[in-house]
Structure 1
Amino acid sequence: MKNKVIPNPILPAAGVRRNFAADGGAGPPPGGQHDDRTPNPQGRVQSDHSTPSNALLRCQRPFVMGTFNAFTVREEARLVELAHCAEERGVEILGIQEHRRVHTDDRIVYRRVERSTFITASAWRKEAQAATGGVGLMLGSLARKALRRVYHHTDRILIAEFSGNPITTVIVVYSPTNVAPPEEVEKFYEDLATAV
Structure 2
Amino acid sequence: MCGLYSKRLPRTTMSLAMWNSRRYRRRCCISYELLLNEDVSEDAEYWQKYLTTTRDNSVPMTRLSLPTEQLKPSYQYFVRVRAINQAGAGPLSEPIQFTTPNGGPENPPAQVSVDINEANIAVLRWNKPNCTTEILNYVIYFTRDLGISNEDYREWQTVEVPATETKSVTIEFLYNRQR
How does the TM-score come out when normalised to structure 2? 0.23
Higher relative contact order (CA 8 A, sep 6+): 2
Compare the two structures and name the one with the higher strand fraction: 2
Indicate the structure with greater helix content. 1
